[in-house]
Chain A
Amino acid sequence: MRFLPLILRNLGRNKLRTGLTGAAIGLAVLLVCFFLTMPAGIDVFLSQIASNVRISVHHKGGLVYQMPFAYVNKIRAVPGVVAADGVVWFGGAYEEAGHVTFPSFAVEPEHVGAVWPDYHIDPAALERFRRFRDGAIVGRQTMEKYGWKIGQEVSLHSTIWPVTLTFRIVGEIPNARSPLFWFQREYLAQAIHEHGWVLSIVGIVWVRIADPALVDGVMNRLDAMFRNSPAETAAETEKSFFASYFGSLQGFVAIILVVTGLVALCVLCIAANTASMAVRERAREIAVLRAIGFGRRLIFGTLVAESMVLATVAGGTGALLTYAFTAAVKLAAGGWSTQLGPLSGFLVSPAIVGQGLLLAVVVGLVSGLAPAYGAAHRPVASVLREVF
């Protein structure tokens, strides 16, 4: 610590160069932290949304194929099943937006509370949801996006069914990352009945199972039950359902990580370059220090410390700036996006900031090592002779 003032003085010698190098390291750490929030967003989403006792049952061939609605009751009768709710995709577009900007489903209101207890929906809201035919329960993300309030009426026009329906919002899903819009299945059934259609299908059945240990058994049993029927099913855990939905984003994440790696390498080169220049300029001075009795270790230590101080301070600033940068990007990109899904959450966690700092420290250490070693081990006499 005694040598800290010396280190700082040395950094202050060429302020422009120190500043530029620091800015480059800070910017790179900021970028790396930002990119890391994207894959981390998927994990956070899965752990927040997915329950380990909830499974989805859908058609084996794809979500586009429907199952008979009668399947839902058959599923409820299977031992180990606590509750099941059959949902139908509505593809509702909010008038002001013009196209689908959040996922909307017709659900069975009386089973919502039992299938999604982890959503902590207000029991009074669930009661209203059961009672009012036109009631809707909406995720907080969508509520906030459009500034909706409980009690308000909103109209959605379906991109699937030839109907436009007006709903009264009776409650919310208190999770800022939930974009869901749920309404009564019966409401949709009545509306399409006017077109002479009967709502006899279901898209996905969400099933809550009594105990995590029973999950695999129940899934096998359900699939076996519908094997060789016109609509064979595929049961899977909620986590695997969403993970495969978002799995396609991996390529996008991979390319971003590759570019990030390249930027980090560039910065390592800059830092190494700066360190080696600083050492070269000071060759004479270092030789003098050695000549008057300062040890190799000390010289080596102060030089490495110099590049580490620079990298850590700059990198730390960059890592902290990630909070501001993500907020700005969120503002620019805005809300739920079909393309990015949970990638667009941009949640900065302490772990990510930590990783950014680690990168900065590694850059400082690696870039400082070689020049410092060289400086500490050059024969004193020859350096002095060379320079004078």
Chain B
Amino acid sequence: MSGLPLSYAVRNVRARLRRTALTIGVIALAVIATSVFLALITSLKRTLVASGSPDNLIVLRKGSDNDGSSMLSYEAYQVLRYLDGIAAQPDGTPLVSAEKVMQPFARTRAGGRENILLRGVDPIALAVHDEVHIVEGRMFRPSAGEIVVGRGVAGRYADADVGADMFIGKRTWHVVGIFESGGTSFESEIWGDLRDIARDANTFPYSGVRMKLAPGTDRQALIDRIDRDPRYALQATPEVDYYAEQAKSAGTLYILLVILAIPVGVAAGFGAANTMFAAVQSRTVEIGTLRALGFSRGTILRSFVLESLVIALVGFAAGAIGTLFVAFLLRLALGGIAFGAQTFTINVVTLRVSPRDLLAALGFATAIGLVGGLLPAWRAAHLRPVEALRKA
């Protein structure tokens, strides 16, 4: 006897609309729950781990664990600028960016108050931090009271819109642009003119210095040279290591999320598989009938698994759309998910659902379809047809 026609599986779906809809709904819910969680985890990881450029060094006062608490003098900056092994622009300007970091209050769109990271830089900073790009408006002009805000800041804080006046700390700044850095922690920052911000802080001129190494420079030798300079108590760290260290302190949050993601996935997956299992198990008689009619086990299994997979895929598609919608709503409602950074400022995680998160959810849905469909169909197909028929 030949195989079961595809239309058999399709008609089955139509014949049991309510049950099929329930199964699809549960799978969609499971997909939403897991992929929202996965997206949160990957967005958090992107913020924490991917920050920093591999050929950059960060120079801070010895003993400081972040640039928010560091202080550096004008003389130290001048010495650092002319060290050997630093990359330069075509006109010879060394790629060294002196920066002043402040953590004043800013108002969130929801009406709350948070410490925000305000970074004073010179225009050279865009060349040193080459992952940062202005995506809306333009770069600020020096000494004009202008600022550019990160993507995360733009979503979360009041008046952080191009063309608006934003009150931060002690004064009002004019927002002229929005920048992105591929989801890294720079997007939780506001950048303004170095002198404007140093004047506002009224302490040491700089917090720290970032520098880009020329290709072929012995990084460790340069680090040692800066660390050993007896005139200024400084320490140099590769920028990537610096952010990895910052990320370590957020490890608790990360571990917690991963710990929670596992039971969430198990509970949701379990539920969906169970529903599917039940749907197929209730058709034991039908499988017995098919066997009695002479269809082989393989044919029947193939048809049932195909049907389950199609249902799982439809559930996944519904869930994926649901996930994007939920993520959109969450972004709209929360203006980014915030957590405290080591600098006592707020890191804004913009919840982005990446293709990889959805791919993982697809695998998840397929597994649910396979397990939930194959197991009961296998059991029914291996009963003697007479017994299966008696199960009525």
Contacts and interface: CB of A to CB of B under 8 A. Distances in A.
9 contacts: A162-B62, A164-B63, A244-B112, A248-B112, A250-B112, A270-B270, A274-B274, A337-B252, A344-B252
A382 B62 CA distance: 87
A248 B267 contact: no
A338 B267 contact: no
Nearest to B391: A281
B274 A273 contact: yes
| Size category, B interface | 35 or more
Contact of B65 (A31, A93, A255): A93
Interface string B38-56: 0010000000000000000
B275 interface: yes
A193 interface: no
Interface stretch (A56-64, A108-116, A165-173, A301-309): A56-64
B29 A266 contact: yes
Given A61-B105, A247-B112, A255 B334 contact: yes
A159 B271 contact: no
B169 interface: yes
A351 interface: no
Contacts of A263: 33, 264, 267-268
> For the complex, would chain A's binding face be called helix, strand, loop or mixed by DSSP majority?
helix
A277 B115 contact: no
A337 B29 CA distance: 32
Nearest to B40: A255
Interface stretch (B80-88, B173-181, B215-223, B255-263): B255-263
Interface residues of A, number: 62
Interface stretch (A68-76, A146-154, A327-335, A371-379): A327-335
A158 B63 contact: yes
B34 to A, nearest CB: 9
B346 A259 contact: no
Contacts, number: 187
Interface stretch (B287-295, B297-305, B337-345, B353-361): B337-345
B243 to A, nearest CB: 14
Interface string B239-273: 00000010001101101100110011011101110
Nearest to A29: B267
B190 interface: no
A143 interface: no
B40 A249 contact: no
A262 B104 contact: no
A26 B37 CA distance: 21
B366 to A, nearest CB: 18
B383 to A, nearest CB: 16
B326 interface: yes
B274 A62 contact: no
Contacts of B69: 91, 159-160
Closest 5 pairs (CB-CB, A-B): A62-B104, A61-B169, A61-B170, A251-B334, A262-B33
Nearest to A246: B340
Given A65-B169, A273-B278, A339-B339, A248 B65 contact: no
Nearest to B32: A262
Contacts of A337: 249, 252-253
A339 B340 contact: yes
Given A277-B278, A332-B259, A162 B233 contact: yes
B305 to A, nearest CB: 20
Contacts of B342: 99-100, 338
Interface centre among A251, A280, A338, A339 (most CB of B within 10 A): A251
Nearest to B61: A162
A130 to B, nearest CB: 29
B22 A273 contact: yes
B266 A27 contact: yes
A164 B64 CA distance: 12
Interface string A234-253: 00000000001001111110
Nearest to A91: B69
A259 B105 contact: no
Nearest to A100: B65
A213 interface: no
Given A62-B169, A251-B334, A252-B337, A332 B63 contact: no
A265 B268 CA distance: 9
A359 interface: no
Given A332-B259, A338-B340, A258 B326 contact: yes
A322 to B, nearest CB: 12
Contacts of A248: 108, 112, 114, 338-340, 346
